[in-house]
Amino acid sequence: MIMPQTIILKIDPQNIAWDKIEQASDILKNGGLVAFPTETVYGVGVLATDQNAVASLYTLKQRDREKQFSVCIYRLQQLEEFVENVPVLAYKLIRKFWPGPLTLVLNAADGRTIGVRMPAHSVSVSLLRRVEVPMFVPSANLKGGKSPVCANDVLKALSGQIHAVIDSGYTPLQLDSTVCKVEEDSYQILRQGALAERMIKKAAKVKNILFVCTGNSCRSPMAEGIMKKMIEEDHSFHIYSAGISAFDGMQATKEAVMVAAANGIDISGHRALMLTKEMVKESDYIFVMEQMHKQTIIQKVKTSAKRVFLLNEFSGSYEGQVNIPDPIGRGMDFYEKIFDLLKNSIGKAMVKL
């Protein structure tokens, strides 16, 4: 794309001008370079799918071709276009801080590492949604220059070298994103930015515990309630439940609610959730009631195999039977028996967590 004088597109982040977003999108789709605001600093972006535009970006930034640019995405599914096996820790940080000022450096599918970010600024989100593909977006400055926090900063450095800049005033945070490298269950801060390390450290310590049964209406809600009561004010655990065949929004069975209440646990507000891949990917431990639950989860997310456990088997509390029977349709006596079995197994499992 021939480089004209840099076009300035003024867009109010509180009142998106869609015609100008469309204009910026057209420039990008024709191989252009467009600077735009994020909540941290201004970045200059190209479509990640346009190799000629990517080459122009390398030239502009005077960057070694072996070093990849950070990529901006607008939906989580796009992450897996660049990273095959996203660590559980990364998903936990994503859940807590995306969209926002955190760039995660992960092992890419091609053997290198790549930084990935989901910005929160309304203009960057609107543009990413309009172009529909991920974008490579380094800071909109020349090598060694100060990160720009307004369109004038961009123009001082890049006027006549990029096709357009979206002027939305000063960025809200006026600091670079925090860059955090994640491998398996450990992290390293590569650049301290707008997101404080103490917040990352706090989020990284939390263990996500997921209980799974069939309908998420009796066994797993009781298990969730039991463990929440056991940990009381311990914020190092995030506990939730789901079902492999659940109907979203369904209440727990009245028997489960009554048995739990008799033991000082209130699950009357529980609403069933269908198990999703995202739940599986972000859980440190997934406790299931039956072998078929385990098989279903591993088929859904193959990388989860080492994190899915039969609750009875993990706790070592089974006596010849690893499955915890489904009490649905049974009487109160059977529900009480299952509740006691869950309580015993969870108590023993807690020691191992």
For residue 84, count other CB atoms closer than 10 A to its CB. Answer: 12
pLDDT of residue 191: 97
Give me the torsion for CA of 90, 135, 11, 142, rounded to 10°. Answer: 100
Is the separation of the CB atoms in 97 and 123 below 8 Å? no
pLDDT of residue 4: 67
Task: Specify the length of the chain in residues.
Answer: 353
Tell me how far apart the alpha carbons of residues 226 and 342 are, in angstroms, rounded to a whole number: 8
pLDDT of residue 111: 84
Cα–Cα nearest to 30, from 59, 70, 1: 1
pLDDT of residue 318: 66
Tell me how far apart the alpha carbons of residues 280 and 286 are, in angstroms, rounded to a whole number: 7
pLDDT of residue 110: 82
Per-residue pLDDT of the chain (353 residues; tens, 9 = 90+): 656 699 999 999 999 999 999 999 999 999 999 999 999 999 999 999 999 999 999 999 999 998 999 999 999 999 989 998 899 999 999 999 999 999 999 999 888 999 999 999 999 999 999 999 999 999 999 988 999 999 999 999 999 999 999 999 999 999 999 999 999 999 999 999 999 999 999 999 999 999 999 999 999 999 999 999 999 878 899 999 999 999 999 999 999 999 999 999 999 999 999 999 999 999 999 999 999 999 999 999 999 999 999 999 998 876 667 899 999 999 999 999 999 999 999 999 999 98
> Omega before 99 cis (within 30°)?
yes
pLDDT of residue 3: 61
Domains of the chain, each with CATH number or no CATH: 7-196 (3.90.870.10), 206-352 (3.40.50.2300)
Cα–Cα nearest to 353, from 151, 207, 239, 223: 207
* Long-range contacts of 308-314, Cβ-Cβ distance < 8 Å, separation of 24 or more: 309/285, 311/211, 311/223, 311/287, 311/342, 311/345, 311/346, 311/349, 312/341, 312/345, 314/287, 314/345, 314/349, 314/352
Tell me how far apart the alpha carbons of residues 345 and 312 are, in angstroms, rounded to a whole number: 6
What does DSSP say about strands 178-183 and 186-191: parallel, antiparallel, or unpaired?
A: antiparallel
pLDDT of residue 233: 77
Can you tell me whether residue 40 is helix, strand or coil? Answer: coil
Is the separation of the CB atoms in 130 and 45 below 8 Å? no
Kindly list the distances between the CA atom of residue 220 and the CA atoms of 89, 334, 338, 345, in Å, as whole numbers in the listed order. Answer: 24, 15, 11, 13
Tell me how far apart the alpha carbons of residues 29 and 36 are, in angstroms, rounded to a whole number: 15
